[in-house]
Amino acid sequence: MHRASFFVLVLLVAILFNSAEPNHSVVYSFGEISSTTSLTIKPDEEVDDSLYTEIVLTGDILLARKVEFYMRNYGDYYPFERIGPFLNNQFVIANFEATVPKEHVPTAYYKYAFSVDKIFLDNLDKFGIKAVNLANNHSLDFGDDAFLNTKFELSENKVASFGNAKTLDQNSVFTVLVDGQKISVLALNLVDTDYQVELLKETLEEMSKHSDKQFAYLHWGEEYSNVHNQKQENMATWLVENGVDLIVGHHPHVVQDIQVINGVPVFYSLGNFIFDQYFSNEVQNGILLKVRYVDNEPKLSLIPITSLDKQSSPRLMNEVEISSFWSNLKAKSSYSLQGDIDGNEIQLSI
């Protein structure tokens, strides 16, 4: 079976800090968006020549609070030392649950305004994390200035960022060029934010005009709930009806069920990737979603990870752990997926 190579190009749709000079890595750029202006996407000729074999989407990553304690005491590579070899030479997209303020003060445990020291950001790129989502309920923990500084420091460390906590704007869509196929990823924070339906529909229409596949990467759902709620399903159904090809969620901090809506896979929550929650098995397990091309067709693989034996330092599950994990996931997911949830990975097509 042929595995086509991925030529991956970051779309950082907004020019950071409204710079007048175009960013060389932009393949598409949105026009300014408001309730009275229309959305446009225009191509850029710049192409990155980096070579990757697959794209990986993850759940929540936190480099603050107890994770910062571990990095300062055991080395800044601590969270990545076991999962890093698997992620090397891949293009990883993660949900970055924090802010990087100009003046960092370590976050006390049981506090929920997450501050990350910029000195820890260089490990993201080292271990394959090339882009992060900021459309979540923590990217504005320290205000707008800290949000802009977060984007700046990530960029300084070769990590693209996309998405906003409160708005749908020129930075909400990110595009990856995969073996000549354009995949656009829409980032939305649905935890405490509502979006204009018409503007959202217009965004999806523009994405479909300029990309081959459209993904939604959503911050939504109820924390610690093992299954999705009706609000999530309603939103997923609407997105599918408006052309989305894959839906991937985060925020609940546990792995939720998988559903197929009109042929579109919906991964309601990938669970935690790197976090400092230890009060249950569920918050210390997660899944990685690989997107790759096989015989020119996009395929999905779902790979379980765990940090139960080493806090905040995930690794791939072993065969015994995988068997138990699949059984639980099978029991709560769509019946049509029962035959696909088996072996070491779930294999799906989109």
Domain that holds residue 344: 54-160+215-349
Q: Is residue 2 part of a domain?
A: no
Residues in the chain: 350
Identify the DSSP state of 58.
E
Number of domains in the chain: 1
Whole-prediction pTM value?
A: 0.86
On the CB side of 313, CA atoms within 13 Å amount to 17
19 versus 181: which is more confidently predicted? 181
The region of weakest confidence among 47-51, 121-125, 186-190 is 47-51
What pLDDT, on the 0 to 100 scale, is given for residue 162? 98
Q: What is the token pair recorded at 23? A: 């960013």
Q: How far apart are CA 180 and CA 157, in angstroms?
A: 26
Residue 282 lies in a domain: yes
**Helix%, strand%, coil% for the chain, nearest 5:** 25, 30, 45
Percent of the chain beyond pLDDT 70? Answer: 81
Which of 40-54, 126-140, 263-277, 330-344 has the lowest average pLDDT? 40-54
Is residue 162 within 8 Å of 131, Cβ to Cβ?
yes
Spatial contact of 188 and 229, defined as CB atoms under 8 Å apart = no
Region 286-301 average pLDDT = 88
> Both tokens of residue 168?
């749908």
**Residue pair 62/115 in contact by the 8 Å Cβ criterion:** no
First to last CA, the chain: 18
pLDDT of residue 285: 99
pLDDT (tens digit, 9 = 90+) per residue, 144-167?
999 999 999 999 999 999 999 999
Q: Check residue 348 and give its pLDDT.
A: 72
Question: Is 104 inside any structural domain?
Answer: yes
Q: What is the pLDDT of residues 86-97, one digit of tens each?
A: 998 888 999 999
Q: Is residue 29 part of a domain?
A: no
Asked, for residue 61, whether it belongs to a domain, the answer is yes
According to the per-residue pLDDT averaged within each range, which of 12-26, 32-46, 162-176 is highest?
Answer: 162-176
Please state whether beta strands 285-294 and 315-316 pair in parallel, antiparallel, or not at all (unpaired).
unpaired
pLDDT for 24 = 25
In this predicted structure, what is the pLDDT of residue 125? 94
Mean pLDDT of 72-76: 97
CA distance 213 to 197: 21
In a domain, 172, yes or no: no
For residue 183, is it within any domain? no
| pLDDT tier for residue 178 given thresholds of 50, 70 and 90 | confident
